């Protein structure tokens, strides 16, 4: 319905000249967990960026860019966001209307846009932006381009703002810490033809569809553009999201979906900005980078000494130091770079941001909460952290980043963040095996305590093996580890008793082990022997013990026959 | 009152966002805003001037804080405060002049008691001012009784207030406000016509076949040059482009459109060209009390070059740019650092500013200051709408336009008035 309305409006626009207020959708949730655990208790958009909550930069920009109506979509920590906005002055500005939309069950940007579509609040072209974007660009030209294109071609549904930014040749990352982005753009119409942010750098190749080259007379492929995550959208965008209910991510699903699937014929265009600034806080590194950009005034007039918010007064003093009026203590470790000394807006009393090569230094001036607020970005108590980490064992990203943040000094080292994504793969696999082992052990212990049949245990372990993509050797290792652990945990007084325990446990669970240890056990025995863990006598004793046992029990003995034989021979030689 | 508050807030937001460009526009808008504040302000029974001053100070404080770099805001606030004081004083002295001193009755004692702290403060201040400061030309000419009346004791001032209160206080209150608004209107008029008044003097300064050098673009300079051109003077203009905003390009275009012989040079070529120049004429951002100039960046270099070659360095400034503060005052924010993107393309240099590499600090810093400070000894002449002045005369001019009480615009914390 909105789609039809939108199309008729465009056709009548010239005669009717109905002025639709310029609207914007601000997603106050990134629908990602990159900022965990600091976002556990505090929404990302309220994290301070040079002492001002991120969302204020976005709102200030929207306001100065001439947006008249903003819908703030709050999902995670929606109460906090709404409370903050209510206490701020954004609701009271003339010609700037802020409406909050609250949702608790949206898990993606797609869900959010579908919900907004249902509300029927968007009537014309709108700006789609997340609450963590900092910009000072002027929208007039981009909007005009978008409208002109719409008049000519109804399918031009979106204009994406891009900016030139060279990626590093070594890490293939932009200075904002995002992966190198490949875009194919028609140099004349500025139409976006290809968008790939997860290119495989190891292969060093990029595959373009043949049709892309066949259909377009000229094409320019860029790897030096940065996506600013500022989109000027037509109302159709909302209905596209509603029609394609599986679209979740704005870029991964929506953009790629539209580019690949040309049945609908929708087109996306780009608008490149040159002198203006636009960037999105997407990860810890961009958090750091954008903070420094603000301190270095690239975002002018959204800089600390221009009170676009009126929260506090900071002056840019000599030697390029920002100082809030409330702070009197001189800073003596300056080296001529722009630095910033401001009071915090939130519970942290005072912060000090140095750009002199140390990343962040956050010092606390007022006493009292010193212990409590040690953490640099957002304080999260240790109890809460462990609780959450246990609750979401399978959330791998959380633990990788958790380990970063839980440095005892409470300091975030930006360098480690920049390497984060590179290490991701290694850490993933390492974590995977750790989790797998834990799962197997838990399964095994459950089997021990509840007397589950061995077949069932095997089934369970097998399913675990499949889900974690492990080999059966891994299962064997995990199982053997659990078996030995069980044996160790059984209380015992002497070594011989321990040995007896081990023997009994192994005998009890031999079938289980057998199913994974096809030919491995001999080596294991050998290994154990060589490491002096098992005494020679013990093995021989075990072999002789087994001689009287049933046929089925003898599988192990048989399998390790050679080794036992060798042991026997060796002991005879010793004699 | 609420609608005034809305106006004030709107203007503050504009100032904060740096949406108002140019000191003339800022000055005019500030004066208009303050005029509406005055006209909306309900004056109390007594001490109207005090109430008005408090109201203006309250608004002025916010305005100055909104954009401390734009000194014209503070200048206009102080000018308006000065106007209120002057009008109050002239009314008071007029009342004294018409006073029959013998008529002191009982009820006046009551009145005196009420009014005493209020009025005595104003009168003492006025007396102090007139004793500390040599009487200005304006007061000498306009208010002959001023010097005679004010040095009287404060009690006599109280008498006069009591008298006027009993006699014609309603008419007086209306008269005070009316006079103030009239004076503020004059101020707005002055600001609006300052270009014409300055450019009227153009022919006296620009002579036939001279070469004039200017930097960047100033509307005052443009009109000044054009006025000389209209008076059939033929001369040439060198325009330094004024990096990084390159406003000089715009000026060159405008001058050529008016038929002036124009040469565009780079800023760095100024020294090479200065020997051929007869006079440097530039605009200013603000003129400080010591005669120093806060001017667009690059002008200090031009001034030094002009001094080296003994070329007169002339600064054009409307009186609204006259700032009663000294550049060493702590509340004067001398400079504004603009976005570095005016200097270089962010995309081209983005790899130089990769914070992830090295020790987390980029090797490249870009600084883009907006203003220069030109010390008074480098300035040969100021041309304001009241005529040409030496830098050393600036403090005198400032004493005419501002009262010493207003130099720090800050409300007294919860004063008894």
Distance, in Å, from the CA atom of A419 to the CA atom of A439, rounded to the nearest integer, reads 29
Q: Is residue A435 part of a domain?
A: yes
> In chain A, which residue's Cα lies nearest the Cα of B359?
A357
Q: Is residue A509 part of a domain?
A: yes
CB A183 within 8 A of CB A162: yes
Instruction: Write the CA distances from B360 to A289, A408, A414, A416, B288, integer angstroms.
Output: 9, 21, 7, 11, 41
> In chain B, which residue's Cα lies nearest the Cα of A298?
B339
Q: Is residue A7 part of a domain?
A: no
* Contacts B331 to A, Cβ<8 Å: none
Instruction: Give the model's confidence band at A181: pLDDT under 50 very low, under 70 low, under 90 confident, else very high.
Output: confident
Mean pLDDT for all residues in chain A: 71
Q: Using the beta-carbon criterion (under 8 Å), do B18 and A301 form an inter-chain contact?
A: yes
Helix axes B219-230, B154-200, angle to 10 degrees: 60
Would you call A307 an interface residue with chain B, using a CB distance cutoff of 8 Å?
yes
Residue corresponding to tokens 């108002």: B20
Helix (H) or strand (E) segment spanning residue B223: helix B219-230
Of the partner residues A94, A293, A315, the one whose CB lies closest to the CB of residue B10: A94
Q: Using the beta-carbon criterion (under 8 Å), do B361 and A168 form an inter-chain contact?
A: no
Q: Using the beta-carbon criterion (under 8 Å), do A164 and B367 form an inter-chain contact?
A: no
Contact residues, A window 358-377, toward B, CB-based 8 Å cutoff = 358-359
Q: Picking from A356-360, A480-484, B23-27, B73-77, which range would have the lowest pLDDT averaged per residue?
A: A356-360
Residue B145 zone, left/alpha/beta (φ > 0; ψ -120 to 50; rest): alpha
Instruction: Give the model's confidence band at A421: pLDDT under 50 very low, under 70 low, under 90 confident, else very high.
Output: very low
DSSP notation for B284-340 = -SEE-TTS-EEEETTHHHHHHHHHHTT--EEEE--GGGB-SS-TT-TT-----B--G
Instruction: Write the CA distances from A331 to A322, A334, A342, A354, integer angstroms.
Output: 11, 7, 12, 10
CA A280 to chain centre: 14
Q: Is residue A535 part of a domain?
A: yes
Reported in sequence order, the residue ranges of A165-308 that DSSP labels E, i.e. its strands, are 182-185, 192-196, 220-222, 225-233, 267-273, 278-280
CATH number at residue A548: 1.25.40
Q: Span A497-501, mean pLDDT?
A: 71
Q: Using the beta-carbon criterion (under 8 Å), do A415 and B337 form an inter-chain contact?
A: no
- Contact residues for B185 (Cβ-Cβ < 8 A; gap 6+): B35
Instruction: Give the mutation candidate from B350, B368, B370 for the A interface (greatest A CB count, under 10 A).
Output: B350
Q: Using the beta-carbon criterion (under 8 Å), do A276 and B341 form an inter-chain contact?
A: yes
Per the structure block, which two tokens stand in for B326? 């000294």
Instruction: Answer yes or no: is pLDDT of A322 > 80.
Output: no
- Dihedral angle computed from the Cα positions of residues A72, A78, A81 and A83, in that order, rounded to the nearest 10 degrees: 110
CA B20 to chain centre: 16
Closest CA to B355 of A141, A414, A172: A414
β-strand A314-317 against A278-280: which pairing, if any? unpaired
Distance from CA of A332 to the nearest CA of B (A): 18
Distance, in Å, from the CA atom of A305 to the CA atom of B336, rounded to the nearest integer, reads 9
Helix (H) or strand (E) segment spanning residue B170: helix B154-200
Instruction: Give the model's confidence band at A31: pLDDT under 50 very low, under 70 low, under 90 confident, else very high.
Output: confident
Distance from CA of B350 to the nearest CA of A (A): 5
Q: Which residues of B touch A (CB under 8 A)?
A: 6, 9-10, 13, 16-19, 65-66, 68, 333, 337-342, 345-348, 350-351, 353-357, 359-362, 365-368
Q: Which residues in chain B show pLDDT less than 70?
A: 1-2, 99-173, 330-334, 354-361, 410-417
β-bridge mates for residue A343, sequence order: A350
Q: Span A341-363, mean pLDDT?
A: 36
What's the total number of domains in chain A? Answer: 1
Most confident of A217-226, A309-318, B143-152, B222-231: B222-231
Query: Is residue B135 helix, strand or coil?
Result: coil
Helix (H) or strand (E) segment spanning residue B280: strand B279-283
Instruction: Give the mutation candidate from B70, B341, B365 for the A interface (greatest A CB count, under 10 A).
Output: B341
Query: Is residue A443 helix, strand or coil?
Result: helix
Helix axes B154-200, B106-132, angle to 10 degrees: 40
The predicted pLDDT at position A202 comes to: 67
Distance, in Å, from the CA atom of A505 to the CA atom of A61, rounded to the nearest integer, reads 68
Instruction: Answer yes or no: is pLDDT of A239 > 70.
Output: yes
Does ipTM exceed 0.90?
Answer: no
CB A339 within 8 A of CB A354: yes
CB A529 within 8 A of CB A564: no
The predicted pLDDT at position B292 comes to: 93
Distance from CA of A216 to the nearest CA of B (A): 27
Q: Using the beta-carbon criterion (under 8 Å), do B365 and A136 form an inter-chain contact?
A: no
Distance from CA of B333 to the nearest CA of A (A): 8
Would you call A138 an interface residue with chain B, using a CB distance cutoff of 8 Å?
no
Distance from CA of A483 to the nearest CA of B (A): 47
Instruction: Answer yes or no: is pLDDT of A451 > 90.
Output: no
Q: Tell me the torsion sign for CA atoms B338, B343, B348, B350.
A: negative
* Contacts A316 to B, Cβ<8 Å: 333, 337
- Looking at per-residue pLDDT, the higher value among B74 and A466 belongs to B74
Closest CA to A39 of A298, A405, A340: A405
The predicted pLDDT at position B224 comes to: 94
Per the structure block, which two tokens stand in for B399? 């004493």
Q: Using the beta-carbon criterion (under 8 Å), do A277 and B341 form an inter-chain contact?
A: yes
* Contacts A415 to B, Cβ<8 Å: 356, 360
The predicted pLDDT at position A225 comes to: 87
- Give per-residue burial for B209-235: e unless 16+ CB within 10 Å, then b: ebbbbbbbbbebbbbbbbbbbeeebeb
DSSP notation for A487-555 = HHHS--SSHHHHHHHHHHHHHHTHHHHHHH-SS-HHHHHHHHHHTTSS-HHHHHHHHHHHHTS-TTTHH
Distance from CA of B138 to the nearest CA of A (A): 38
Distance, in Å, from the CA atom of A162 to the CA atom of A200, rounded to the nearest integer, reads 22
Q: Using the beta-carbon criterion (under 8 Å), do B17 and A168 form an inter-chain contact?
A: no
Lay out the sheet containing A182-185: strands in order across: A192-196, A182-185, A220-222
Q: Using the beta-carbon criterion (under 8 Å), do B347 and A277 form an inter-chain contact?
A: no
- Dihedral angle computed from the Cα positions of residues A67, A73, A79 and A81, in that order, rounded to the nearest 10 degrees: -40
Q: Is residue A22 part of a domain?
A: no
CB B414 within 8 A of CB B94: no
Degrees to nearest 5, angle at CA A183 with A182 and A188 = 150
Instruction: Write the CA distances from B79 to A107, B361, B404, integer angstroms.
Output: 59, 47, 11
Q: Picking from A57-66, A87-96, A237-246, which range would have the lowest pLDDT averaged per residue?
A: A87-96
Which spans in A335-374 are helix H?
Answer: none
The predicted pLDDT at position A457 comes to: 75
Per the structure block, which two tokens stand in for A333? 């470790």
- Quick: pLDDT tens for A154-172: 888 899 999 888 877 777 7
Distance, in Å, from the CA atom of A558 to the CA atom of B384, rounded to the nearest integer, reads 112
Would you call A296 an interface residue with chain B, using a CB distance cutoff of 8 Å?
yes
The predicted pLDDT at position B118 comes to: 43
Instruction: Give the model's confidence band at A174: pLDDT under 50 very low, under 70 low, under 90 confident, else very high.
Output: confident
> In chain A, which residue's Cα lies nearest the Cα of B337?
A297
β-bridge mates for residue A222, sequence order: A183
> In chain A, which residue's Cα lies nearest the Cα of B336?
A316
CB A24 within 8 A of CB A71: yes
Q: Is residue A481 part of a domain?
A: yes
| Greatest Cα pair distance in chain A | 111
The predicted pLDDT at position A317 comes to: 65
Residue A488 is part of which domain span? 428-574
Distance, in Å, from the CA atom of A210 to the CA atom of B309, rounded to the nearest integer, reads 69
The predicted pLDDT at position B415 comes to: 39
Q: Is residue A334 part of a domain?
A: no
Distance from CA of A77 to the nearest CA of B (A): 30
| DSSP state for residue A179 in the 8-state scheme | B
| DSSP state for residue A5 in the 8-state scheme | H
Size of chain A in residues: 575
Distance, in Å, from the CA atom of A506 to the CA atom of A37, rounded to the nearest integer, reads 42
Q: Using the beta-carbon criterion (under 8 Å), do A301 and B368 form an inter-chain contact?
A: no
DSSP notation for B54-103 = HHHHHHHHHHHHH-TT-HHHHHHHHHHHHHHHHHHHHHHHHHHHT--TT-
- Quick: pLDDT tens for B1-36: 457 888 888 888 888 777 787 888 999 999 999 999
Instruction: Answer yes or no: is pLDDT of A411 > 50.
Output: no
* Contacts A323 to B, Cβ<8 Å: none
Per the structure block, which two tokens stand in for A94? 């003339």
pTM for the full predicted model: 0.68
> In chain B, which residue's Cα lies nearest the Cα of A289?
B355
Mean pLDDT for all residues in chain B: 80
Q: Using the beta-carbon criterion (under 8 Å), do A320 and B367 form an inter-chain contact?
A: yes
Across the A/B interface, how many CB contacts are shorter than 8 Å? Answer: 109
Q: Is residue A292 part of a domain?
A: no
Q: Residue B303 phi/psi, 5° resolution?
A: -65, -40
CB B323 within 8 A of CB B333: no
* Contacts A175 to B, Cβ<8 Å: 350-351, 353-356
Structural domains in chain B plus CATH codes: 2-194 (1.20.120.420), 201-335+370-401 (3.40.50.10470)
β-bridge mates for residue B214, sequence order: B239
Distance, in Å, from the CA atom of A34 to the CA atom of A40, rounded to the nearest integer, reads 11
- Quick: pLDDT tens for B169-206: 566 667 888 889 999 999 999 999 999 999 999 999 99
Instruction: Answer yes or no: is pLDDT of A20 > 70.
Output: yes
The predicted pLDDT at position A382 comes to: 60
Distance, in Å, from the CA atom of A231 to the CA atom of A383, rounded to the nearest integer, reads 40
Q: How far apart are the first and last CA of chain B?
A: 20
Of the partner residues A177, A297, A355, the one whose CB lies closest to the CB of residue B356: A177
Distance, in Å, from the CA atom of B351 to the CA atom of B144, rounded to the nearest integer, reads 71
Most confident of A37-41, A263-267, A404-408, B322-326: B322-326
The predicted pLDDT at position A524 comes to: 58
> In chain A, which residue's Cα lies nearest the Cα of B363?
A357
Per the structure block, which two tokens stand in for A230? 């500022």
């Amino acid at each position: 319905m909105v789609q039809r309305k939108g199309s008729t409006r465009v056709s009548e626009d010239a005669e009717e000249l109905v002025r639709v207020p310029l609207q914007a959708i601000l997603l106050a949730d990134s629908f990602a967990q990159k900022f965990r655990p600091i976002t556990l208790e505090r929404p990302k958009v309220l994290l301070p960026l040079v002492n001002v909550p991120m969302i204020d930069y976005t709102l200030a920009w929207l306001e100065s860019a001439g947006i008249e109506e903003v819908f703030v979509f709050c999902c995670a920590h929606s109460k906090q966001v709404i409370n903050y906005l209510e206490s701020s002055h954004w609701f009271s500005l003339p010609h700037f209307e802020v409406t909050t939309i609250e949702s608790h069950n949206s898990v993606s940007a797609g869900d959010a846009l579908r919900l907004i579509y249902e509300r029927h609040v968007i009537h014309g072209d709108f700006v789609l932006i997340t609450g963590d974007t900092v910009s000072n660009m002027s929208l007039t030209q981009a909007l005009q381009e978008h409208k002109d294109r719409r008049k000519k071609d109804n399918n031009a549904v979106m204009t994406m703002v891009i900016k030139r930014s060279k990626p590093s040749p070594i890490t293939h990352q932009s200075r904002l810490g995002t992966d190198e982005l490949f875009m194919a753009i028609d140099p004349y119409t500025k139409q976006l033809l290809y968008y790939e942010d997860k290119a495989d750098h190891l292969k060093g190749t990029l595959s373009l569809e043949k049709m892309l080259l066949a259909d377009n007379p000229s094409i320019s492929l860029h790897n030096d553009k940065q996506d600013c995550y500022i989109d000027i959208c037509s109302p159709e965008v909302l209905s596209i999201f509603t029609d394609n209910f599986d679209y979740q991510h704005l870029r991964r699903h929506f953009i790629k979906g539209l580019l690949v699937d040309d049945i609908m014929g929708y087109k996306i265009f780009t608008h490149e900005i040159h002198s203006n600034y636009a960037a999105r806080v997407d990860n810890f590194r961009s958090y750091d980078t954008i903070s420094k950009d603000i301190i270095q005034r690239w975002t002018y007039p959204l800089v600390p000494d221009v009170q676009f918010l009126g929260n506090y007064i900071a002056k840019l003093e000599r030697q390029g130091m920002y100082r809030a009026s409330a702070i009197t203590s001189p800073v003596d470790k300056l080296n001529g770079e722009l630095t910033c000394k401001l009071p915090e807006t939130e519970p942290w009393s005072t912060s000090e941001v140095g750009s002199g090569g140390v990343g962040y230094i956050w010092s606390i001036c007022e006493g009292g909460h010193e212990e409590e607020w040690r953490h640099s970005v957002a304080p999260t108590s240790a109890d809460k952290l462990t609780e959450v980490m246990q609750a979401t064992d399978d959330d791998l990203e959380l633990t990788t980043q958790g380990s970063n943040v839980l440095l005892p000094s409470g300091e975030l080292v930006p360098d480690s963040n920049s390497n984060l994504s590179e290490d991701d793969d290694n850490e993933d696999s390492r974590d995977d095996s750790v989790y797998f082992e834990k799962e197997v052990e838990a399964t095994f212990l459950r089997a021990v305590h509840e007397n589950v049949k061995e077949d069932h245990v095997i089934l369970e372990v097998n399913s675990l093996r499949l889900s974690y993509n492990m080999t059966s050797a891994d299962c064997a290792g995990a199982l053997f580890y659990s078996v030995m652990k069980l044996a160790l945990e059984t209380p015992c007084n002497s070594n011989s008793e321990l040995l007896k325990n081990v023997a009994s446990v192994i005998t009890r669970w031999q079938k289980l082990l057998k199913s994974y240890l096809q030919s491995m056990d001999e080596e294991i025995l050998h290994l154990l022997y060589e490491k002096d863990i098992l005494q020679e006598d013990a093995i021989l004793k075990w072999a002789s013990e087994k001689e009287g046992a049933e046929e089925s029990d003898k599988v192990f003995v048989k399998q390790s026959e050679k080794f036992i034989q060798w042991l026997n021979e060796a002991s005879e030689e010793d004699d | 009152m609420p609608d005034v508050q809305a106006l004030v807030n709107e203007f503050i937001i504009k100032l904060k966002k740096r949406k108002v460009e140019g000191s003339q526009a800022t000055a005019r808008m500030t004066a208009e805003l303050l005029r509406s504040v005055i006209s909306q302000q309900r004056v109390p029974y007594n001490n109207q001037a005090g109430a008005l001053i408090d109201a203006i100070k309250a608004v002025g404080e916010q305005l100055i804080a909104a954009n401390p770099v734009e000194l014209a805001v503070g200048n206009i606030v102080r000018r308006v405060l000065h106007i209120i004081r002057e009008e109050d004083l002239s009314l008071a002295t007029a009342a004294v002049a018409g006073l029959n001193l013998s008529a002191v009755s009982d009820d006046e004692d009551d009145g005196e008691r009420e009014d005493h702290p209020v009025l005595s403060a104003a009168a003492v201040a006025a007396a102090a001012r007139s004793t500390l400061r040599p009487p200005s030309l304006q007061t000498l000419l306009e208010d002959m009784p001023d010097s005679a009346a004010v040095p009287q004791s404060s009690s006599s001032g109280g008498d006069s207030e009591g008298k006027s209160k009993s006699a014609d206080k309603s008419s007086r209150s209306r008269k005070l406000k009316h006079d103030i608004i009239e004076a503020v209107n004059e101020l707005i008029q002055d600001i609006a016509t300052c270009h014409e008044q300055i450019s009227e003097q153009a022919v006296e300064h620009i002579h036939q076949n001279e070469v004039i050098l200017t930097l960047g673009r100033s509307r005052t300079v443009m009109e000044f040059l054009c006025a000389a051109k209209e008076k059939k003077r033929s001369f040439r203009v060198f325009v330094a482009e004024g990096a990084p905003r390159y406003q000089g390009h715009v000026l060159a275009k405008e001058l050529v459109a008016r038929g002036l012989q124009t040469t565009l040079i780079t800023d760095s070529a100024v020294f090479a060209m200065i020997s051929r120049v007869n006079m440097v004429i530039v605009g200013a951002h603000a003129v400080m009390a010591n005669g120093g100039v806060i001017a667009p960046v690059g002008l200090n270099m031009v001034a030094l070059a002009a001094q080296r070659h003994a070329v007169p360095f002339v600064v054009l400034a409307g009186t609204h740019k006259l700032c009663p503060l000294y550049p060493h005052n702590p509340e004067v924010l001398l400079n504004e650092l603009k976005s570095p993107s005016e200097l270089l393309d962010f995309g081209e240099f983005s790899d130089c500013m990769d914070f992830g590499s090295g020790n987390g600090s980029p090797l490249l810093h870009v600084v883009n200051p907006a203003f220069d400070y030109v010390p008074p000894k480098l300035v040969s002449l100021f041309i304001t709408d009241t005529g040409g002045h030496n830098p050393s005369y600036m403090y005198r001019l400032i004493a005419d336009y501002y009262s010493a009480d207003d130099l720090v615009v800050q409300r007294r914390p919860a004063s008894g008035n």
